[in-house]
Amino acid sequence: MKLFISILLLIPAIGFAQKFKSDSSYVRFFSEAPLENIEAVNIKGASIIDLSNGNFAFSVPVNQFRFDKSLMEEHFNENYLETEKFPKTTFTGSFKPADLVNGEQTVSAIGEFNLHGQTKPVNIEGTVIKDNGQVTIKAVFDIKLVDYKIKIPKAVFYNIAEEVEVTVYFEYKEL
């Protein structure tokens, strides 16, 4: 009995081996507006996925989004995302279904998305490809700027879409 309890207590340590950490990432947002499309890409994000329970988190340093127009990048950080105040955007949650099988599958990531200091419950549909030692995640979803209190001044309203499309792509290696 005592032996059983000891083994039970040691299980968490075994669970550790189920964690995968991203070694390659690509996060893009795209805003489509009549006057100007705005695109930025960030390759400095990081993510961890725990296959033992389907838990999943990512964190993206906001000041690492790269734009073609440098002034846009500056305004993005200074005026819209207020990067000095809110340096990271994060997601924490878990997959449904939690047991991932080998091959490609559609999953939902249910959890909390934090952007611009605001946390919202989200349900993001994405694709997971699991191939033994390697996992790849891809998701495309829309976020409404107003949900995250990202203010667009009226004078430039037509320049920026109220909803932007976010693409998230991570490749993982076993930790």
Partner 1 sequence: MRRIYIFILIAGLLSPAYGQDDLLDMLGDEPPSNEPVTSTFKSTRLINGHTIETRTQGVLEFIIGHRFGRLNEGGENLWGLDFAQIRLGLEYGVTDNLNIGIGRSGVDKTFDLFAKYKFLRQSNTVPVSAALFLSGARRADSFFENQVEGLGIPFEGKFRNAYTYQVLIARKISSALSLQVSPTIIHRNYVATSEEPNDLIALGMGGRYKITNRVTINAEYFPTFNQDSDNYKNAIAIGVDLETGGHVFQLHLTNAQRLQERGFIGETTGNFFDGDIHFGFNISRVFNVAVKENIPKG
Find all residues with CB under 8 Å of 65, minimum gap 6, and list them. Answer: 27, 29, 40, 41, 42, 73, 76
Nearer to partner 1, 33 or 105 (CB): 33
Min CB(15)–partner 1 separation in Å: 6
Position 1 contacts partner 1 (CB under 8 A): no
Interface with partner 1 (CB under 8 A), residue total 56
Report yes or no: 128 and 99 within 8 Å, Cβ to Cβ.
no
State which of residues 31, 33, 59, 140 lies at the interface with partner 1 (CB under 8 A): 59
Site for partner 1 in 115-144 (CB under 8 A): none
DSSP-assigned letter for residue 66:
B
Residue 108 makes contact with partner 1 by CB under 8 A: no
CA distance 72 to 67: 7
82-97 burial, b at 16+ Cβ within 10 Å, e below that, comes to bbeeeeebbbebbbee
Binding site for partner 1 (CB under 8 A): 2, 5-6, 9-10, 12-13, 15-16, 19, 21, 26, 28, 39-41, 43, 46-50, 52-53, 55-59, 61, 63, 66-71, 73-75, 77-79, 82, 84-85, 90, 92-94, 111, 153, 155-156, 159, 169
